[in-house]
Structure 1
Amino acid sequence: MSTVVLLSTRRLPPTYFDQVREDLGDQNITIDVVGWVAPSAWVADKVNTFTLIGPGRMPAQPAPEPEVEAEATDEAPDAVIAPEAVADPETVVADEAKVAPAAAEVAAAGENPVTQPVAPSATPAPPPPAAKPRPTGAKRVVKAVEWRARKARKVAGRMLPKAIKTSAPVKFLRGQRATNDLGKNYWERVLSRRDVMATIDKADVVVALDAGAIWAGWNLGQRKASTPVVLGLPAARREFDQLKAPAGNG
């Protein structure tokens, strides 16, 4: 059975690993993942291992759905009302005649209700919060320097036209810087984890899935010349086809 190690810095859904098996042409392939971020849902039934080396936590296993039971009713479905439990119409009319005068007296009494004076609340208002003491001495100097630095950054930001700040080259440079920082952090974490390096040593093919994992893939390719390290699933498919070719020709 072939083994592939996926290097990823993006959030992967569980269905992605079904697509990996389809793209590699082997439903029985063993998948190990080294991820910087946790997957979007539980993936223990999709991969052999998923090692999280970045911030966050792995999603928990979903709880099984409880069985729905039929609601019990107090009354039997075939219950029958006894004839003697039904009131006679003449009795109902007599009872209504007795209740009418009493209701009239209650309504008359409600026209002139006696109002009780409401006592004012005796709870005093809370005192205002005490003013924060101002910094003195060296702390005052540090606060002044920090305030001037923030003001200088705001002024510098306003001096650049909006068209320049939102232009494609500036966005590209910012994205490249963020990707480079992520790639270096990812590789340093991979190199410092013995369990991750042991998993990579057992792989038939190592695949860097995104730009953040390219730097780690390049370094692994320099360290492990015997194991193919490629970028993307199409290149991994070619490597797996070459691994299977000698056995098929024989």
Structure 2
Amino acid sequence: MKTVVLLSTRRLPPTYFDTVREDLGNQELSLDVIAWMPPSGYVADRVHTFTLIGPGRMPKAPAPEPVVEADPTEEAPDAVIAPEAVAEPESVVGEGEVAPAAAEVPADAAEDEAASTTPAGAAASSRGAGEARPVGITRFRKALGWRYRKARKAAGKVLPKAIKTSAPVKFLRGNRASKDLGKTYWGRIEGRRDVLSTIEKADVVIALDAGAIWAGWNLGRRRGSVPVVLGLPAARRELDQLKATTKAAAGNG
């Protein structure tokens, strides 16, 4: 059985690992995942190990469905109700007994309620008795932050939408985000001995997305004995080559 390590910085669905096995030729594989984000569902039944090195929590196993057993003493749905079990019209409780008459609201309470609905009363209640308007450096920081947000919003309006949504701008933003995430992801891998031990035991390491490329490049440079590839097609070629090499060695032996 071949061991394959998957490097990913995206949220993967459980069905994705079935696709991985199909794309790799439905071979007997042990899948170990080193992920930045938790999967979107329970995956313990689809992979050997799933190591989360980023934010979030692993999803819990789904609770088994309760088995509902029929109660032999339970009344059938179409059972006929006895006439004597129905309440007579005289037994219905009157309106006066259900809810007592509303008490009159005192005049001073009505004045307090009216004062709280005025703008001054609402402002005082929202700010609270112990709070005061910011002064000094706090007021300066709030004013500076407000002007910054206003200027940024105005700059966004001035820039044409065609430029903001253009392919080059999207590529630059995505490339920068991928580089930042890739460096952080590699830093987590490099600092985890258990992760490095899992990678050393692998036959093939696959970087699945752009955020995992930097980690794959560093692993390939430091551990030349373990092939590190980008994408599933390249991993399929590596596995087929390993399989052919194993058969040839077995035939010669």
TM interval, short-chain normalised: 0.7 to 0.9
User: How far did residue 75 of structure 1 move?
Assistant: 5.9
Q: 2:142: which partner in 1?
A: 143
Q: 1:235 to 1:134 in 2, by over 3 A?
A: same
Q: Which has the larger radius of gyration?
A: 1
Q: Note the aligned Cα RMSD (angstroms).
A: 2.9
**Which of 105, 110, 135 is the matching residue for 1:121?**
105
Q: How does 1:144-183 map to 2 (within 5 A)?
A: 144-183=143-182
* Residue 205 in structure 1 maps to residue 189 in structure 2: no
Question: Partner letter of residue 46 of structure 2?
Answer: K
Q: 2:2: which partner in 1?
A: 2
In 2, the alpha carbon distance for the partners of 1:191 and 1:120 equals 73
In the superposition, the TM-score normalised over structure 2's length comes to: 0.77
Q: 1:118 to 1:226 in 2, by over 3 A?
A: closer
User: Deviations for 1:59-101, whole angstroms, at most 9, x for unmatched residues?
Assistant: 001111111211334569xx9xxxxx999xxxxxxxxxxx9xx
Q: 1:91: which partner in 2?
A: none
Q: 1:184: which partner in 2?
A: 183
Q: 1:43: which partner in 2?
A: 43
In the superposition, the TM-score normalised over structure 1's length comes to: 0.78
Q: Which runs of 5+ in 2 are unaligned?
A: 95-99
Q: 1:74 to 1:198 in 2, by over 3 A?
A: closer
In 1, the alpha carbon distance for the partners of 2:142 and 2:196 equals 47
User: Deviations for 1:120-172, whole angstroms, at most 9, x for unmatched residues?
Assistant: 23455366514752222222222232222222222222221222122222122
User: What is the percentage of aligned positions where both structures have the same residue?
Assistant: 66
Q: 1:236 to 1:137 in 2, by over 3 A?
A: same
User: How far did residue 52 of structure 1 move?
Assistant: 0.5
Greater alpha carbon shift after TM alignment, 130-139 vs 29-38: 130-139
Instruction: Please state whether the residue corresponding to 2:138 is helix, strand or coil.
Output: helix
Question: Partner letter of residue 103 of structure 2?
Answer: A
Instruction: Please state whether the residue corresponding to 2:245 is helix, strand or coil.
Output: helix
Instruction: Please state whether the residue corresponding to 1:32 is helix, strand or coil.
Output: strand
Instruction: Please state whether the residue corresponding to 1:4 is helix, strand or coil.
Output: strand
* Residue 133 in structure 1 maps to residue 132 in structure 2: yes
Q: Which runs of 5+ in 1 are unaligned?
A: 80-84, 88-98, 104-109, 111-115
